Structure 1
């Protein structure tokens, strides 16, 4: 008779029976995971409640899947970027699709001295710059646009980001949501009603989130100057919504006769 057949099977105690010091280190798949370090609050209570650790995680890669690029990122990340700058750290942008608009970030507390823009024109340059920044760990947060990143490249960035204390965000097209990714957190971001953002958490350390989050995200530079009727676009009756305009169905007295084309 072999030794293997005589040895009793080890007894695995449930985490609830473990000492408190050990139970805190056990993650159960039906609960949100805990970050390695304190998270950076997103500025949106509903989003923080859905993210492991209650905010944007450090020591990991976060993918933001959105289209078109350059229109929604700063409305979602503006409050968090301001928090990074508030503690004296820099925010580095790699390959943004448009020239960064500093006046739109100033209300969040992002200053010109703390905003660094790396102009990288080719996919290879953007990937290389992002890897070096994450590896160096010298900035408070990295926000990079890598629409053509391949799975192997994402795996490498996730490994590098696991040693980076601050948030590392990658912006990719919404269609990339169909692909697998090594990123520890993935969010699908779309325009919502009025000024809101519709956010789906499609990957996180924890149970799936079946509902869409609707986050009020009026641009900080406009919230103080817009009249109430424009601030509350999401509360008015709309028949159809486009990417850049709200189209209302005309009332009968305002209908115009059809014009032949």
Structure 2
């Protein structure tokens, strides 16, 4: 019999070459892969980071367990390092510009799309087709298997990242997403005696990778996701350590509230003065 013909010896187009995978089942080098910012998580992810052209399902108990802080390094790298846009489709909360700035994410590269549930996946597919898109974040409680397959094809063709947030019960359902992760908060033992700020500083995130290319994860990972605080005025941050020395049984001191409102109002006026809200966030409701 003749020698086997290597696929790499024939003239494949770049599009077809992207469909071929060779080598290690876990850590293939790829210059487009973006680190998660957590070494232990990178070691568990195929390619040692978030891989473009892949839908990642994040299965969470409820919104706010730390899923955005988990993706903060990726969001910063895309919007600042690579000058690419990130689209948020149907998030269950109003995006907080101050929080994104605190994480050093370029807010002018973030786009918030409000869409009814029956149009979320269509909006996601259309977003992935646009030039300059680095990632699309999608919140959708229910999705049909065939729709999820279309989303994976769209992400693969666009070579962009796609993150799909779904409830924990979806873990029992089949999925075309190549990467699926169950994310649960780990409460500190002293949680009942903590105020909310202390609680969010101490809470950790348990990540169980239930589907990935290669063998399953031996045991869940535990990541620390400290809360960013630069949204508060500087003198408030300097006083934070002093306040920790005394027992605080409320969420925010009244002085913090006044200072925060004053700073937020001025920031809003400054933003309007430079036309910032005329960009990606022009559809934000004014309360």
Query: With structure 1 as the length reference, what TM-score do the two structures score?
Result: 0.72
* Inter-partner Cα distance in structure 2 for 1:25 and 1:142: 24
Higher Rg = 1
Query: Partners in 2 of 1:192 and 1:186 — Cα distance?
Result: 19
In structure 2, runs of 5+ residues without a counterpart are: 5-19, 188-201, 245-287
Spell out the pairing of 1:209-224 with structure 2 (5 A cutoff): 209-221=217-229
Distance 2:219 2:143 in 1: 28
1:185 maps to 2:179: yes
TM-score (norm 2): 0.66
CA contact (8 A) 2:65 2:184 kept: no
Aligned to 1:242: none
Q: Is the 8 A contact 2:98 2:231 kept in 1?
A: no
Displacement after TM superposition at 1:222 (Å): 6.6
Q: Could you tell me whether the CA contact under 8 Å between 1:37 and 1:58 is conserved in 2?
A: no
Q: Flag the 1:33–1:183 CA change in 2: closer, same or farther, 3 A.
A: farther
Matched positions, count? 209
Q: Does 1:75 align with 2:69?
A: yes
Partner of 1:88: 83
User: What does the per-residue CA deviation read over 1:42-79, in whole Å, with 9 as the maximum and x for residues that have no partner?
Assistant: 11111011001111110111111102124422121112
In angstroms, what is the RMSD of aligned CA positions? 2.8
Mind listing any 5+ residue stretches in structure 1 that lack a counterpart? Answer: 1-7, 13-23, 231-261
- Tell me the distance in 1 between the aligned counterparts of 2:124 and 2:68: 18
Mapping for residues 1-261 of structure 1, pairs under 5 Å: 26-27=22-23, 31-32=25-26, 34=28, 38-86=32-80, 87-120=82-115, 122-193=116-187, 194-221=202-229, 225=237, 227=241
